[in-house]
Structure 1
Amino acid sequence: MRAITVAPGVADSLRLDEAWPEPHPEEGAILVEALAVGICGTDHEIIAGEFGEAPPDTDRLVIGHESLGRVLEDPTGSLHPGDLVAGIVRRPDPVPCANCAVDEWDMCRNGQYTEHGIKALSGFARERWRIPPKFAIGLDPDLAHVGMLLEPASVVAKAWDHIDRISRRAEWQPQTALVAGAGPIGLLAALLASQRGLTVHVLDRAPTGPKPALVAALGATYHTGTVNELDFEPDIALECTGAPSVVLEVMCKAAPVGIVCLTGVSSGGRIINFDAGALNRTLVLENHVVFGSVNANRRHWKLAAEALGRADPSWLGSLVTRRIPVEAYAEAYRPGPDDIKVVLEFAR
């Protein structure tokens, strides 16, 4: 079968393997036919050789962690042939740590977790894959063309779940949310904010292209420029760019008793001038909470599936700006200027 693989740590080693081995039954009871995988910045970083880890029995890694497939067989009866399914990316560590022991592998404390298409587990960019029932999420048939958005949506669902938990520290009725960044994570964060009935603002540097219309379709307001130029203080802010200057500005911009969630991952090595004392004063005197969020556990994946099920299917479909057949895989992994979400299709 065909699979998209890399040699981890070797830049530009991406290739289409035409005779990749079939998934071993030990990988999971549920056999899945791949329909599509979404492509994100993590894939580009792995292709650039910046990180990634192959499974123990091979020197190549099948990439792809934003999955969408159709069940071929499930002897456990948890799903049925023909059902749409997505595979949870992370697996708990074998020790396990206290969090992994209670299925909160997204909060793993010792770093010995594994991840499909990223760290020591084959990914989903192959024609067939297997998954245990515990790590399979069934999808509504209406999500047949956009189900690969479940993985990024699960990251956002976790962020909002933690915001909701933190908000219970005091009597608090948030009204306004700011999302910095209008990539897939940012737009999905704005979707979930709008589903909560908040007044939503999205800040991005692109003045044209599809993003302003996508934000407007949510009933949200689209901004360009800088965080400091905004004329309001958000009760909730989600930073989805990882740009150091934006991260710091968002942390300082929140309203009193505000909550700031950081989902963007910054690259190191960039030094900027910043008044750390002013930030500390703001956080302390205004009772701010700033926290980071990455990955998701099964509960968050289920919440994400529910959120996508409530969304306008045409709006979700508009997030996918390019659909590329697997035969043209190199084109799919070549970034385009107006890309939001690029999808590599295995079956149509």
Structure 2
Amino acid sequence: MRALTIRPGRPGSLSVAEVPDPEPGPDELLVEGLALGVCGTDREIAAGEYGAAPPGRDRLVIGHESLGRVRHAPPGGGFSPGDLVVGVVRRPDPEPCGACAHGEFDMCRNGRYTERGIKELDGYASELWRVETRYAVALDPALADVGVLLEPASVVAKAWEQVERVGGRAWFEPRTALVTGAGSIGLLAALLGVQRGLDVHVLDRVADGPKPGLVADLGAAYHHDGLDAAVRAARPDVVIEATGAAELVFGAIGSTAAYGVVCLTGVSPAGRNLTVDAGALNRDIVLENDAVVGSVNANRAHYAAAADALGKADPGWLGRLVTRRVPLDDFAEAFDSRPDDVKVALTLGS
């Protein structure tokens, strides 16, 4: 079968290769790959910035935003041939820390976890793949065209869970939310905020293209004239930061109403200096009982919550998030970021 593979750490080594067909174990599904979402993590791996091949090998099958259809399922595993499924990305370490042992491998304390398509485990960018039944998530057939959104939606579901858990340390009844960044993570964060009944505002740099319309059709407010203007309009109780841009990160931390919660989901590049009034920032956080929390990855429960959220969303709106579909043979186009991109998907079938 064909798969999209890379030699981690070597820019320009991404290529379609013939690899052996997977042989599922007794508790594994054999899945026909349908599509794969491409995100910033994949582009960074393609650029040689990180990633790790399975032990004893020099190439990694890339891809973690999966979508497939079950071809073979073991009896009693809860799946049947024809089911639409997504594979969970992370696996707990072999000698699990306390969090991993309790199913919260997204909160691994010792860093020895592995990740499909990223760290020491082959990913889902192949015509066939296998996955353990306990790490497979069934999707409503109505989501067949947008199932690649489940993995990013799981990250967002976790972010909102973290906001609610942190806010729950005292009386917490947020009314407004500001999402910084209108990529797939930001737009899905806005979707889940609207589903929670919040007045949602979204900030991005662009004034045209698909993003303003996508936000408006959620019933949310779109801003492109800078953080200060967005904060004045929103007066946010919650901020979901989805860009990783250092200026926005620190601006967001200082922008919430009293007892605000900021959840950082974007990863900032290292090596860039920024002048920050740390004293004023500290003063605001302390005197207003604010909280800042980082959130990354997701566990099985977050995937289930994300599947529920996508199932409640307008399918037409979700379909507009997938702004480009690229055949596997033309994979390089999918890794070329374009201004109007929200989510790019590789199609894996013939």
- Same fold, judged at TM 0.5 (above): yes
Could you tell me whether the CA contact under 8 Å between 2:31 and 2:71 is conserved in 1? yes
How big is the shift at 1:28? Answer: 5.5
Match of 1:202 in 2: 202
* Conserved 8 A contact 1:27-1:130: no
What secondary structure sits across from 2:98 in the alignment?
Answer: coil
C-alpha distance in 1 between matches for 2:247 and 2:14:
33
Counterpart in the other structure of 1:68? 67
Q: Is the 8 A contact 1:36 1:68 kept in 2?
A: yes
The residue type paired with residue 337 of structure 1 is P
* Pairs aligned (count): 347
- 8 Å CA contact 1:43, 1:64 repeated in 2: yes
Shift of 1:165: 1.4
Alignment match, 1:187: 187
Name the counterpart of 1:345: 347
1:50 aligns with 2:49: yes
1:247 maps to which residue?
Answer: 249
Following superposition, the deviation at residue 95 of structure 1 comes to 1.1
Matched, 1:164 2:171: no
Counterpart of 1:280? 282
Give the alignment's TM-score, normalised by structure 2. 0.97
Aligned-pair Cα RMSD in Å:
1.1
Partner of 2:320: 318
Instruction: Flag as ranges the 4+ runs of structure 1 deviating above 4 A.
Output: none
Partner Cα distance (1:12, 1:187) in 2: 31
| Distance apart, 1:330 and its partner CA | 1.7
Match of 2:38 in 1: 39
Q: How far apart, CA to CA, are the structure 1 residues paired with 2:24 and 2:73? A: 11
Which amino acid in 2 is paired with 1:275?
A: D
Alignment of 1:272-311 (within 5 A): 272-311=274-313
Q: 1:124: how far off?
A: 0.2
**What is the CA-CA distance between 1:26 and the residue it aligns to?**
4.5
Distance 2:179 2:107 in 1: 23
Give 2:145's aligned residue: 145
TM-score by length of 1: 0.98
Matched residue SS, 1:43: helix
Runs of 5+ consecutive residues of structure 2 not aligned to the other structure: none
AA aligned to 1:172 is F
Any conservation in 2 of the 1:28–1:130 contact (CA below 8 Å)? no
Paired residue secondary structure (1:253):
coil
What CA distance in whole angstroms lies between the structure 2 residues aligned with 1:341 and 1:275? Answer: 36
| 1:176-231 deviation per Cα after TM superposition (whole angstroms, max 9, x unaligned) | 00000000000000000000010000000011100000000000000012212331
Tell whether the 8 Å contact from 2:262 to 2:291 is kept in structure 1 after alignment.
yes
Q: Which runs of 5+ in 1 are unaligned?
A: none
2:267 aligned to 265, 273, 281, which one? 265
Q: Which has the higher mean CA deviation after the structures are superposed, 265-274 or 333-342?
A: 333-342
TM-aligned CA deviation for residue 27 of structure 1: 9.6
Aligned AA for 1:115? Answer: E
